[in-house]
Structure 1
Amino acid sequence: MKYNPAEPVSVLVVDDEIYIVDMLTSYLVEHGYIVEGYTNPLEALERYRQKTFDLIVTDLKMDEMSGTELVDQIRQKNADTLIIIMTGFASIQSAIRAIQQEVYDYLQKPFKLAEINAVIGRAAEKLLLQRENEALHRRIDQMLADITLLYDVSNILYQVPAYETAMDMVLDTLSEG
């Protein structure tokens, strides 16, 4: 599934294993994502504070900071960021914690590239649908404002003694624009 949206999705990959970071970064860039990868979660968090990413893919167990701590820090800046946790140490407790943190998905290592591609693809699709929904809401709000303005203008025009002449002038002006 090759992903190539008109509006690219930015991904921050965080894992203390350089091999995982390099593999995911290369794979995701090849599939149309804008990706930055870090082996140090503290550096990744600092980068996230400078530039918000659409999607975070992070390991659960890292030396400097755990994946759950990283998620907590990210949530302080932006509660809507989609986050995927990867772990070689899956447990019921860590899965429950991920659910409590509203993590988008929880993957057990080792995983196949096709598996993570599908998960990231679904996350990107969700993000793009959210963006489209927000754009449609803005458009509806603008249309409502325009209709309200027209309604207010028409109410004023009906109060003018020669409202038919005034209405013709307004309609002529609107049709020229």
Structure 2
Amino acid sequence: MTSTRLTARTRALVAVLAGSVLTAAGLTTAAQHGSALGLTVERCSAAFTTYAWAGGFVTHVRVTTPQALSGGWVVEWMDVVPGTRPTQAWNATVTATPRQGTSYSGSEYTARYLAWNGSVPAGGAVEFGFQGTTSAAPRDPMGVRLNGEPCTGYVTPTEGWGGPPPSPTPTPTRTWNPTPPPTPTPTPSPTVLPTTTPAPTP
């Protein structure tokens, strides 16, 4: 009769193999359900800072990336204020395409890298800015993405809506008030007295 009993060494080996299988399965489950286990996936983080006035605005954008970018970058977002239009930009080429949604209308913005700033190290940031025109107060952007990946943590502080940007206080111009020369006092002309001719003696 053949014995089917396992030796202590065999049982220990089976236990180790079983534990490895369970550990691998647990890691796979954690990767698939990271949010349920309190794990976070590292994503880009975007911050929008906007100064706006009646009819126009200036926005500065900073997008931090956890991964290195070597082949260029593209930042996309949705502006839900209808009628916004970029007029100039720096550190990027910024374009806007009008979009009409079921619950909003606005413009889909795209910012592309320039020839000299397409590489960003891990933990670095993409920074650019642009100026534009608008018919309403700015609102928070929607769906910010870096190279197609969604970003988190973006905000849009808005200041000064309702009037034109403050103008610098002009430096007063000094007015030259020359002192007029004194009016000379006229010198009185001497009075010429007639010469009296003496009468002849008879």
Higher helix fraction (1 or 2): 1
Q: State whether TM-score is above 0.5.
A: no
Normalising by the residue count of structure 2, what TM-score does the alignment of the two structures yield? Answer: 0.25
Q: In terms of Rg, which structure is larger?
A: 2
Q: Which structure shows the bigger proportion of residues in strand conformation? A: 2
Relative contact order higher in (CA < 8 Å, ≥ 6 apart): 2
